[in-house]
């Protein structure tokens, strides 16, 4: 059976989601439900140094802080997860203690950061470690230049948390049992080559500083990168990408040196008439608490714009009520809901992916629940480097076999791109067809032919 998402009627939606629920921001001492942190004070929890020092990086630490909540079955499954995932463990106490450990198997936050072996599915035959072909479009190390006026700069491969759904699992964090990585940390020596390339690329106006995560850059590095880019005359817009606001808001409220560096770059940008913004990614309304709101109050009052990019994940946020609540909550905090991405076809993520149809139906359901400028655009970042396209802008969609065919006329004229639905969501007959490589190849060729003629 193909699982799709029914668009709920407004009455159904409002019954599940009272209209003002998005204004409730959790403010209890939720970390005290974790046995190992039962005596941690609010002051300690608010300190970014405490959060960093107590971040969980090993299964043994999970067992230790959870105490009696760490059941043998759960821990065995988590250990199995570590053998299969391409990502290291790293999770802040903030997010760790928002997990409902009594219901850990189904918890959307646990799913994102602490994978269980039992949740993994066989890889789709078309999965790729560099699904977006970022390495192919890289003129100098750490830089992807695909669109004429925009580049992606990856100055670090470190993050304050490691997400199981990471699209750059090939380089982010350290090697794991299943993947050897060419992770480079924050290799500042090579950044100047990137700036030199950009000085000589007059069409580039927009730089995304990602990674990795800008939260892992030092204040001096935040300033060095920001000033170097803003001093290039044709660069008009820079965006620091960080999941930090969602998973580590205490850094914004208590790491004053880091925040000051960001504000100084923002002020420099304004003095040059250029834009400096943050792109963050909240993916579940459960990640949002009073701590997130306090972080956003500080950022907003410093005049810094924040936009949100969520990743659509099966069992995490592929539900109309959750997506509407997420959209309204981030909007209420003055974050612009910008994109919801279809999950990329990367290793270790088949269980996270949804069908394209689910993305389309969720977009239909969310649109109209709040103002248009606060409504995210649902996009599919085309495998093979076609860039982001609106979910409904495919050229052809064979829903039975889960194959959609796309064009990106400006980015790669003449090319066609294929995005595939996860096999486990297809009918039994379609699942059988994918098991035979010759039949699978024929299905893909036939779908492409519908577009190329
Ligand atoms: S924060 Fe971003 S780059 Fe880092 S692991 Fe998560 S998805 Fe990957």
According to DSSP, the residues that pair with 335 across neighbouring strands are 306
Q: How many Å lie between the centroid of ligand 1 and the Cα of residue 213? A: 7
Residue 159 Cα: closest atom of ligand 1? 4
Which residues have any ligand 1 atom within 6 Å of their CB? 159, 162-163, 166, 168, 172, 211-213, 243
Domain range 1-393, CATH class: alpha beta
**Which residue would you say has higher pLDDT here, 310 or 129?**
310
Helix, strand, coil percentages (3-state) for the chain, rounded to 5, are 45, 15, 45
Q: What is the DSSP code (8-state) at residue 423?
A: G
Place of tokens 């999965």: 127
Q: Cα separation of 319 and 324, whole Å?
A: 9
pLDDT band at 1 (very low <50, low <70, confident <90, very high): very low
Phi and psi torsions of 385, nearest 5°: 95, 30
Residue 90, classed as helix, strand or coil, is coil
Decide if 81 contacts 117 (C-beta within 8 A).
yes
**Strand segments (E) across 354-434:** 377-382, 387-390, 396-398, 403-407, 416-420
Q: What is the pTM of this model?
A: 0.94
Decide if 232 contacts 195 (C-beta within 8 A).
yes
Q: Which residue CA neighbors atom 8 of ligand 1 most closely?
A: 166
What tokens appear for 41 in the block?
């004070």
Residue 341, classed as helix, strand or coil, is strand
User: Which residue, among 71, 84, 59, 76, has the nearest Cα to 164 in the 3D structure?
Assistant: 84
Give the model confidence (pLDDT) of 210-226 as tens digits. 988 999 999 999 999 99
Q: For ligand 1, pick from 89, 209, 243, 280 the residue to mutate: most ligand atoms within 8 Å of CB.
A: 243
Domain ranges in the chain are 1-393
Q: What is the pLDDT of residue 7?
A: 59
According to DSSP, the residues that pair with 150 across neighbouring strands are 147, 206
Give the model confidence (pLDDT) of 57-112 as tens digits. 999 999 999 999 999 999 999 999 999 998 999 999 999 999 999 999 999 999 99
Q: For ligand 1, pick from 87, 91, 159, 186 the residue to mutate: most ligand atoms within 8 Å of CB.
A: 159
Look at residue 2 and tell me whether its pLDDT is greater than 50. Answer: no
Q: For ligand 1, pick from 57, 131, 172, 316 the residue to mutate: most ligand atoms within 8 Å of CB.
A: 172
């Amino acid at each position: 059976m193909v699982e799709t998402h029914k668009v709920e009627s407004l009455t159904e939606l409002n019954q599940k989601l009272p209209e003002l629920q998005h204004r409730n921001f959790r403010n209890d001492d939720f970390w005290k439900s974790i046995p190992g942190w039962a005596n941690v004070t609010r002051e300690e929890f608010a300190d970014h140094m405490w959060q960093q020092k107590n971040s969980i990086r090993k299964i043994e630490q999970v067992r230790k802080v959870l105490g009696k909540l760490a059941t043998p079955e759960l821990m065995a499954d988590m250990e199995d997860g570590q053998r299969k995932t391409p990502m290291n463990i790293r999770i802040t106490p903030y997010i760790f203690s928002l997990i409902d450990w009594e219901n850990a198997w189904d918890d959307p936050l646990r799913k994102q950061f602490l994978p269980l072996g039992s949740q993994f599915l066989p890889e789709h035959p078309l999965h790729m470690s560099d699904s977006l072909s970022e390495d192919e479009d890289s003129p100098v190390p750490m830089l992807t230049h695909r669109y004429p006026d925009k580049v992606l700069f990856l100055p670090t491969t470190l993050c304050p948390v490691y997400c199981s759904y990471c699209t750059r699992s090939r380089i982010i964090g350290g090697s794991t049992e299943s993947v050897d990585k060419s992770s480079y940390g924050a290799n500042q020596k090579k950044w100047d080559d990137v700036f030199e390339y950009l000085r000589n690329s007059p069409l580039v106006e927009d730089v995304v500083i990602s990674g990795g995560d800008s939260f892992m850059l030092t204040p001096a590095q935040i300033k060095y990168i920001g000033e170097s880019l803003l001093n290039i005359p044709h660069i008009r817009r820079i965006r620091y990408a960080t999941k930090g606001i969602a998973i580590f808001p205490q850094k914004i409220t208590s790491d004053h040196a880091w925040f000051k560096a960001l504000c100084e770059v923002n002020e420099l940008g304004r003095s040059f008439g250029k834009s400096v913004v943050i792109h963050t990614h909240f993916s579940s309304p459960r990640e949002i608490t009073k701590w997130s709101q306090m972080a956003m109050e500080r950022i907003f009052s410093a005049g810094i714009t924040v936009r949100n990019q969520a990743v659509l994940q099966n069992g995490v946020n592929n539900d109309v009520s959750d997506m509407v609540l997420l959209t309204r909550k981030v909007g209420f905090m003055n974050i612009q809901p910008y994109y919801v991405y279809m999950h990329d076809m990367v290793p270790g993520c088949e269980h996270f992916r949804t069908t394209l149809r689910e993305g389309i139906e969720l977009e239909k359901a969310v649109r109209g629940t709040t103002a248009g400028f606060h409504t995210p655009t649902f996009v599919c970042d085309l495998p093979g480097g076609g860039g982001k396209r609106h979910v409904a802008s495919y050229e052809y969609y064979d829903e039975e076999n889960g194959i959609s065919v796309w064009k990106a006329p400006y980015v790669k004229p003449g090319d066609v791109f294929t995005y595939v639905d996860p096999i486990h969501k297809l009918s039994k007959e379609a699942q059988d067809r994918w098991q035979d490589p010759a039949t699978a190849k024929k299905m893909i060729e036939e779908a492409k032919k519908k577009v190329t003629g």
